[in-house]
Amino acid sequence: MDHYKSNILTLLQRYKDGKCSREELENLYHELSSNNDDVDKALWESLLQEVDTAKLSDQKFENLYQKISSKTIATSEKRTIRRLIPFWAAAAVLIICLGGLYLYNDTFQKTTRETPQYTKLVDVAPGSNKAVLKTADGSVIVLNEAQDGIIMGDEIIYTNGSEVVQVTEGSHALEVLYELSTPNSGTYRVTLDDGSTVWLNAASKLIYPSKFSRHERKVVIEGEAYFEIQKDPTRPFKVTSGNQTVEVLGTTFNISAYPGERAVRTTLVEGKVKVGQTGASSSSVYLYPGQQSILKKGSEIKVKQVNLMEQVGWKEGLFYFDETALKDAMLQISRWYDIEIRYDGDVSQTYFYGEIPRSKSLKNVLNILEEGNVRFRLTKEKTKNVLTVLSEQ
């Protein structure tokens, strides 16, 4: 290998190791920019993100040096390892080309262009009152975020008494259904025709009639909801979620039945409920305050004692952790802050204890959680917020 290439490879290695001084970087720049090989020059541009390799003013060179220096420091840190791969892929190709092998082609360019680009996020705001109501006539109404709920009746109103929508003629028929749904980072409540109230957690949906029948009251839930049911011995209240039905006369309970989760969990706060399976292998159990039923697909219903606040703290505006596994905690955070969770490293043995107000921003919540043996990286990929969980090594 001639002296020119040997010198460049030495400088590139020092640059890769983060040891390149300003003088050495300037030498590297001049060595490459004075080379007439267009391939090498194109790769040099790709590596250092600079469009003009002819001449640089002192100010331009200073800016380039600062840009490269900061990137070199960042890529030596564990928290930016995802950015390290495409950057040093370019460096690797450059070294190969200098050794005489030409690999820079349209495929490489396409791969570089399609590599996801991340930017650091400073913070994410907490969830709030957000919901959509699909009415009996098929209309879709985005509900007022300044209000926390709606009340069903001859007209649908907000909890402050202002009108949401006038109920059209025929909408009081028993078969007419309404659908209240919350997005990620949303919560809302509805007071039903009988006076019962249902609070919806983030990413949840409640289907209910405008008016209940004389013999029973039936609703369908997907996601998570907290129920306060008005007593009516003549009309049992039934909640269907997946292959489970909960039957009550008047009580308070919570159901967590998110699609994709392995189990439907029903937690009783007050009163007494009957939890039953639907289908051929139907079975049922009775719950008493402080008990939770767990129904997994293909299994019998199991019952255990639980910490009530851990199960229903969300309704009181809290993340409440009591030996809560990290991945379970991250599910709650994912829905409330509408953020994608990713994992980088082994975090399977991490558990959390204590309570955190859900009104805090994500950064404040993460600062508290980092008191445990875990670290986080908050980034944005295109329009998607991403929280990466990093194990402490």
Mean pLDDT of all residues in 299-319 = 95
Alpha-carbon span 38 to 36, nearest angstrom:
6
Residue 42 included in any domain: yes
Mean pLDDT of all residues in 192-216 = 95
Residue 107 included in any domain: yes
Residue 121 included in any domain: no
Mean pLDDT of all residues in 86-102 = 37
Find the helix packing angle between 58-75 and 81-98, rounded to 10°: 120
- Are 61 and 101 contained in the same domain? yes
- Place 274 in a pLDDT band, splitting at 50, 70 and 90: very high
Choose one of 311, 343, 371: the last residue of a domain: 311
* pLDDT for 109 beyond 90: no
* pLDDT for 59 beyond 70: no
Residue 206 · residue 152 · CB < 8 Å = no
* pLDDT for 83 beyond 80: no
Q: What percent of the chain has pLDDT over 70?
A: 66
Alpha-carbon span 299 to 222, nearest angstrom:
20
| pLDDT (0 to 100) of residue 174 | 58
CA nearest to 248, candidates 264, 265, 270 = 270
- Are 288 and 321 contained in the same domain? no
Residue 31 · residue 9 · CB < 8 Å = no
Q: What percent of the chain has pLDDT over 90?
A: 53
Residue 184 included in any domain: yes
* pLDDT for 113 beyond 50: no
- Place 75 in a pLDDT band, splitting at 50, 70 and 90: very low
Backbone dihedral region for residue 124 (phi beyond 0: left; psi -120 to 50: alpha; all else: beta)? beta
End-to-end CA distance of the chain: 41
- Contacts of residue 365, defined as CB under 8 A and 6 or more positions apart, other chains included, come to 319, 333, 356
Average pLDDT, the chain: 78
Alpha-carbon span 138 to 160, nearest angstrom:
25
- Place 278 in a pLDDT band, splitting at 50, 70 and 90: confident
| pLDDT (0 to 100) of residue 258 | 96
| pLDDT (0 to 100) of residue 364 | 95
Q: Where residue 321 sits, what CATH number does that domain have? A: 3.55.50.30
- Are 51 and 98 contained in the same domain? yes
* pLDDT for 172 beyond 60: no
| pLDDT (0 to 100) of residue 39 | 40
More confident residue, 34 or 113: 34
Q: Which residue range(s) make up the domain with 227?
A: 128-311
Mean pLDDT of all residues in 332-348 = 91
Strand partners, 58: none
